[in-house]
Amino acid sequence: MTDLKEGVCLKGFWLNHEHCCWKAETPFENRDTCSDWRIWSQLIIGTTEGAFAYILNYFMYVIWALLFSLLAVSLVKGFAPYACGSGIPEIKTILSGFIIRGYLGKWTLIIKTITLVLAVSSGLSLGKEGPLVHVACCCGNILCHLFIKYRKNEAKRREVLSAAAAAGVSVAFGAPIGGVLFSLEEVSYYFPLKTLWRSFFAALVAAFTLRSINPFGNSRLVLFYVEFHTPWHLLELVPFILLGIFGGLWGAFFIRSNIAWCRRRKTTKLGRYPVLEVLVVTAVTAILAFPNEYTRMSTSELISELFNDCGILDYSKLCEYVSDFNSTKGDDLPDRAAGPGVYTAMWQLALALILKVFITIFTFGMKVPSGLFIPSMAVGAIVGRLLGVGMEQLAYYHHDWTIFSGWCSQGADCITPGLYAMVGAAACLGGVTRMTVSLVVIMFELTGGLEYIVPLMAAAMTSKWVADAIGREGIYDAHIRLNGYPFLEAKEEFSHKTLAMDVMRPRRNDPPLTVITQDSMTVEDVEVIINETTYSGYPVVVSRESQRLVGFVLRRDLIISIENARKKQDGIVSTSIIYFTDHSPPLPPSSPSMLKLRSILDLSPFTVTDQTPMEIVVDIFRKLGLRQCLVTHNGKLLGIITKKDVLKHIAQMANQDPDSILFN
Amino acid sequence: MTDLKEGVCLKGFWLNHEHCCWKAETPFENRDTCSDWRIWSQLIIGTTEGAFAYILNYFMYVIWALLFSLLAVSLVKGFAPYACGSGIPEIKTILSGFIIRGYLGKWTLIIKTITLVLAVSSGLSLGKEGPLVHVACCCGNILCHLFIKYRKNEAKRREVLSAAAAAGVSVAFGAPIGGVLFSLEEVSYYFPLKTLWRSFFAALVAAFTLRSINPFGNSRLVLFYVEFHTPWHLLELVPFILLGIFGGLWGAFFIRSNIAWCRRRKTTKLGRYPVLEVLVVTAVTAILAFPNEYTRMSTSELISELFNDCGILDYSKLCEYVSDFNSTKGDDLPDRAAGPGVYTAMWQLALALILKVFITIFTFGMKVPSGLFIPSMAVGAIVGRLLGVGMEQLAYYHHDWTIFSGWCSQGADCITPGLYAMVGAAACLGGVTRMTVSLVVIMFELTGGLEYIVPLMAAAMTSKWVADAIGREGIYDAHIRLNGYPFLEAKEEFSHKTLAMDVMRPRRNDPPLTVITQDSMTVEDVEVIINETTYSGYPVVVSRESQRLVGFVLRRDLIISIENARKKQDGIVSTSIIYFTDHSPPLPPSSPSMLKLRSILDLSPFTVTDQTPMEIVVDIFRKLGLRQCLVTHNGKLLGIITKKDVLKHIAQMANQDPDSILFN
Shortest Cα distance from B349 to chain A (angstroms)?
31
Are A180 and A194 within 8 A, CB to CB? Answer: no
The residue among B518, B521, B509 whose CA lies nearest residue B539 is: B518
pLDDT of residue A245: 96
User: Is B609's CB within 8 Å of A604's CB?
Assistant: yes
Bridge partners, B631 (sequence order): B608, B639
Q: According to the per-residue pLDDT averaged within each range, which of A230-234, A316-320, B422-426, B503-507 is highest?
A: B422-426
The model's pLDDT over A541-600, given as tens digits with 9 standing for 90+, comes to 998 888 889 999 999 889 999 988 888 888 888 888 888 888 877 777 777 888 888 888
CB A576 within 8 A of CB A523: yes
From chain B, the residues in CB contact with A612 under 8 A are 603-604
Does residue B341 sit at the A interface (CB-CB below 8 Å)? no
Cβ-defined contact of A440 to B636 (cutoff 8 Å): no
Confidence of residue B506 (pLDDT cuts 50, 70, 90): confident
A390 touching B (Cβ < 8 Å) = no
**Chain B CB within 8 Å of residue A200 CB:** yes
Contact A608, A631 (CB under 8 A): yes
pLDDT tens across B235-259, in order?
A: 888 999 999 999 999 999 999 999 9
pLDDT score, position B535: 85
Residues of A in contact with B549 (CB under 8 A): 634-635
User: Which of A177, A197, A624 has its CB closest to that of B441?
Assistant: A177
Which residue, among A95, A169, A197, A610, would best test binding to B if mutated, counting the most B CBs under 10 Å from its CB? A197
| pLDDT reading at A188 higher than 90 | no
- Report the CATH architecture of B500-654: Roll (3.10)
Nearest chain A residue (CA) to B177:
A437
Chain A within 8 Å of B624 (Cβ-Cβ)? yes
Which pLDDT does position B663 carry in this prediction?
Answer: 46
Chain A CA closest to residue B620: A624
Q: Tell me which CATH homologous superfamily contains domain A234-323+332-473.
A: Clc chloride channel (1.10.3080.10)
Task: Give the closest of A211, A444, A609 to B603, CB-based.
Answer: A609
Check if B234-323+332-473 and B500-654 are the same fold.
no
Q: In degrees, to the nearest 5, what angle opens at C-alpha B614 toward C-alphas B608 and B618? A: 85
Contact A600, A538 (CB under 8 A): no
Euclidean distance between CA atoms B555 and B538, whole angstroms: 7
Looking at residue A450, its pLDDT comes to 67
Contact A612 B634 (CB under 8 A): no
Question: Which amino acid, residue B457?
Answer: M
- What confidence tier does B333 reach under pLDDT thresholds 50, 70, 90? low
Of B234, B491, B636, the CB nearest to A194: B491
Q: Which of B177, B441, B609 sits opposite A603 (nearest CB)?
A: B609
The set of residues, in sequence order, having a beta carbon less than 8 Å from that of B402 and lying 6+ positions away, is: none
Residue ranges per domain, chain B?
Answer: 1-79, 234-323+332-473, 500-654
C-alpha of B471 from chain center: 18
A127-137 pLDDT per residue, tens:
888 899 999 99
- What is the residue-averaged pLDDT of chain A? 85
The 10s digit of each residue's pLDDT in B358-410 is 999 999 989 899 999 999 999 999 999 999 999 888 888 887 787 777 777 77
| Distance between B197 CA and the closest CA of chain A, angstroms | 7
d(Cα A463, Cα A357) in Å, to the nearest integer?
17
Q: Looking at the complex, report in whole angstroms how far the Cα of residue B455 sits from the nearest Cα belonging to chain A.
A: 9
CB contact under 8 A, B604 and A613: yes
Interchain proximity B185–A204, CB inside 8 Å: no
The closest alpha carbon to B649, from B614, B620, B621, belongs to: B614
Say what the pLDDT of residue A664 is. Answer: 39
* Through-space distance between the first and last CA atoms of chain B, rounded to whole angstroms: 37
Note whether B192 contacts A458, CB cutoff 8 Å.
no
Q: Among A176, A441, A635, whose Cβ lies nearest the Cβ of B177? A: A441
pLDDT at B66 over 90: yes
ipTM: 0.75
Q: Judge contact between B504 and B556, C-beta under 8 A.
A: no
Using a CB–CB cutoff of 8 Å, tell me whether B625 touches chain A.
no
Of A197, A490, A608, the CB nearest to B604: A608
Reported as a pLDDT band with limits 50, 70 and 90, residue A393 is confident
Is the minimum CB–CB distance between A194 and chain B shorter than 8 Å? yes
Return the C-alpha torsion angle A12, A17, A19, A20, nearest 10. Answer: 50
| CA dihedral over A322, A325, A331, A335, signed as positive or negative | negative
Tens-place pLDDT, residues A302-316:
998 898 877 666 667
C-alpha distances (whole Å) from B184 to each of A358, A492, A568, B56, B171 are 39, 19, 55, 49, 16
List b or e across A124-154, with b for residues whose CB sees 16 or more CB atoms inside 10 angstroms: bbbbbbbbbbbbbbbbbbeebeeeeebeeee
Contact state of B453 with A623 under an 8 Å Cβ cutoff: no
Q: What is the per-residue pLDDT across A71-95, written as a single tens digit (0 to 9) for each?
A: 999 999 888 888 888 889 999 988 8
**Can you tell me the mean pLDDT for B606-614?**
90
Chain B residues with CB inside 8 Å of A211's CB? 234, 454
Contact B362, B281 (CB under 8 A): yes
pLDDT confidence of B221, banded at 50, 70, 90? Answer: low
- Taking only residues 434 to 463 of chain B, the set having a beta carbon closer than 8 angstroms to any beta carbon of chain A reads 436-437, 440-441, 444-445, 448, 450-451, 453-454, 457-458, 461
- Across the range A360-368, mean pLDDT stands at 91
CA of A577 vs chain B CAs: smallest distance (Å): 20
| Residues on chain A touching B612 (C-beta within 8 angstroms) | 603-604
Contacts of A624 in chain B (CB under 8 A): 619-620, 623-624
Q: Considering only residues 631 to 660 of chain B, which have any Cβ-Cβ distance to chain A shorter than 8 Å?
A: 632, 634-637
Confidence band for B324, pLDDT divided at 50, 70 and 90: low
The shortest CB-CB distance from A450 to any of B219, B444, B612 is to B444
